[in-house]
């Protein structure tokens, strides 16, 4: 049930909520004599009877009752305080009517969009033409591509396993961490210090990377330390007491 059809039984009015709003706006019913608390109680009783809460109807009720409360509070203020109000009671009534009309427009628009979406449920389509960049061939030429035989051959090609990739022409470097550790310990044993560039002179990138890991292993074992006095400068490795 819509909030506008809420049946009211008040001391000064009996009938639907929608009619009460109309009479208040026409000033045929004095809002000061309307007990808005009874209106709220009637709506709560309606919710208890039905056992269902319609969020849209509840929102509409809150908007309308809040506007009526604001209008009634303006009417209840003493005359000497009316100068401090932004709106006169008559202007407040017009604002209430404007809010109600605006709310009804938005609600009608939402209902229309919901109905349009429900009517097209199950399918979506686009009316825009295909972009020029995707117009590769004419429709007549494309129809022949989807012949069952050609389609089967295309799918069969996708399911076929490709031949193994031949990597014989790719040279693979063979270097181990133990080899680079032995090389670094040999350099430290001869001079007690060396530069990192000297340790990897003529080596490939993989050997340089493994040499760096070997240097970290020496540092972790307490066999070597190093220093670099400036960013991207030479790295000097020194022997420690672990040797």
Mean pLDDT per 10-residue segment, the chain (243 residues): 68 76 76 82 80 76 81 71 52 66 76 82 67 66 64 81 80 82 90 89 88 91 88 88 50
CA-to-CA distance for 175 and 23, rounded, in angstroms? 96
Residue 90 is predicted with a pLDDT of 60
Residue 242 is predicted with a pLDDT of 44
Residue 3 is predicted with a pLDDT of 60
Please name which of 109, 20, 112 lies closest in space to residue 68, comparing C-alpha atoms: 20
215 close to 226: Cβ distance less than 8 angstroms: yes
Residue 182 is predicted with a pLDDT of 92
pLDDT in tens, 20-36: 777 777 777 787 888 88
């Amino acid at each position: 049930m819509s909030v506008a059809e809420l049946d009211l039984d008040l001391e000064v009015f009996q009938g639907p909520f929608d009619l009460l709003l109309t009479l208040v706006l026409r000033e045929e019913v004095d809002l000061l004599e309307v007990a808005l608390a009874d209106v709220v109680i009637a709506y709560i009783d309606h919710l208890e009877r039905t056992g269902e809460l319609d969020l849209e109807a509840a929102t509409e009720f809150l908007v309308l009752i809040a506007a009526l409360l604001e209008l009634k509070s303006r009417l209840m203020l003493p005359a000497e305080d009316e100068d401090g109000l932004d709106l006169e009671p008559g202007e407040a009534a017009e604002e209430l009517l404007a809010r109600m009309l605006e709310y009804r427009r938005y609600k009608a628009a939402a209902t229309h969009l919901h109905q349009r979406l429900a009517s097209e449920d199950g399918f979506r389509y686009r009316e825009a033409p295909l972009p020029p960049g995707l117009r590769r061939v004419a429709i007549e030429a494309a129809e022949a591509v989807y012949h069952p035989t050609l389609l089967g051959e295309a799918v069969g090609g996708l399911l076929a396993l490709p031949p193994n990739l031949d990597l014989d022409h790719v040279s693979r470097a063979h270097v181990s961490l133990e080899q680079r550790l032995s090389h670094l310990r040999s350099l430290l044993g001869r001079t007690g210090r060396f530069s990192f560039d000297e340790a990897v002179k003529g080596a490939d990138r993989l050997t340089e990377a493994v040499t760096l890991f070997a240097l970290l292993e020496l540092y972790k074992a307490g066999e070597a330390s190093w220093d670099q006095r400036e960013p991207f400068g030479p790295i000097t490795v020194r022997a420690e007491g672990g040797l």
